[in-house]
Structure 1
Amino acid sequence: MPRIRASTVAEHRAAQHRALLDAARQILAETGRPPTLTRVAERAGLARPSLYQYFRSSEDLLNALVEDVFPRWSAGVAAAMDAAATPGDRVLAYVLTNFELISEGEHALATVLAEVAPGDTVAEQSRAMHRQLLEPLVRALRDLGVSAVPETAEMINAIVFAGSRLIESGTDLQTVWESARALLEPFVRTAGTTVRPS
């Protein structure tokens, strides 16, 4: 990999940091094991001593990976929902974007990180991510006029969880998405207008 060039030292350091994280992500996804600092430095095209300017140890690198993976997932889902035109479309975007990230391997990477990262870092980040993910979904459901918002959000997340298992077991994304959309689209198009059972 050629040397990363940037107009300022801060930009250069940020680019190097990103390259190291991306290299570590690739190695972890390929092997399922914590990458050594030597392999990460080689993959990023840096001398190992340079890597220590960014990460003091393998544990430090794994913690940085955890802190990188979960917020990026949340940000991706939030951006897709923000781009949707209606509350119903935002709910559908929530489900589809989660499926897309799972299909791209992000969930598998998070699962591997949960197995290899030290301490409670992954559990804490996972809880924080799920809270962040729920916020835009809850807002969309409220905007739809749903009366039982927390319960409905849990049911939608159950669909996401079931879809994630299907995708990771080999079912193609389009098939999973079409099945989920068939379940959810009638709901989001009529939510707030249906009469609740007495």
Structure 2
Amino acid sequence: MPKIEAGSVREHRAQRLAKLIDAAEAILNEGGVEKLTAGAVAARAGIARNSIYRYFDSIEDLLELVVTREFPAWIDAVERAIAAETTPEEKAAAYVRANIEQAARGTHGWRASLSRTSLSPSTRERVRNLHTSLHKALAEVVGELGLPQPELTVAVLQAVVDGCIRRIDQGDEPATVADFAAGATRRLLADDHH
């Protein structure tokens, strides 16, 4: 039997898993969570049904992978946007804009509704922790402003992000929403300084 290098076994597994997550996303996009079964995912991915459980333990685990898949890239994009700015006000505006732009990249709506409805408590907790790392980045920026009520400022800016993302999920034009939110952030922080 030919010897397989560890790297290529790992690569093969990663490719297979990506294929299964892609298949699950496509099914969720088309039919929602009711249509997400092991058989449907295996058929869509072109992988034998009995071998898909080598990659995850349950459909629940696969759902977690789908929901959390974009988080590392999302967090990275937000952190890069903040780092590109020099003043705390512009960093805060960049945080707001980058989150809205990431959400607008297409799949946030059904991911968010999935997060609310179909995930186990432990998965929801992991999703919350991923969100927490984003909020920490915002808290650091707000800390630089030296405002009298930093926690309240973070909560209000996060509410702006959440409200704007909901508008995009409902069909508003992402660029318009992002511009509005960044402008609102600048005005809010400018008012706080007086």
**Structure 1 length normalisation: TM-score?**
0.79
Distance 1:95 1:36, change over 3 A: same
Q: CA RMSD in A?
A: 2.6
CA contact (8 A) 2:42 2:49 kept: yes
Greater per-residue helix proportion: 2
Shift of 1:154: 0.5
CA contact (8 A) 2:139 2:151 kept: yes
Shift of 1:70: 4.6
SS of 2:69's partner is helix
CA contact (8 A) 1:66 1:122 kept: no
Q: What does residue 23 of structure 2 align with?
A: 23
Q: Superposed, which structure 2 residues align to 1:32-111 within 5 Å?
A: 32-34=32-34, 35-103=36-104, 104-111=106-113
SS of 2:171's partner is coil
Q: Superposed, which structure 2 residues align to 1:46-195 within 5 Å?
A: 46-103=47-104, 104-117=106-119, 119-188=120-189, 190=190, 194-195=193-194
**Aligned residues, how many?**
187
Deviations for 1:107-150, whole angstroms, at most 9, x for unmatched residues?
43132243122x31343123212311111111111223333221
Gaps (5+ residues) in structure 1? 1-5
Shift of 1:187: 4.5
Gaps (5+ residues) in structure 2? 1-5
Percent of residue pairs identical: 33
Deviations for 1:24-53, whole angstroms, at most 9, x for unmatched residues?
122212222151122222322322233121
Distance 1:187 1:110, change over 3 A: closer
Deviations for 1:157-181, whole angstroms, at most 9, x for unmatched residues?
1111221221122111122122212
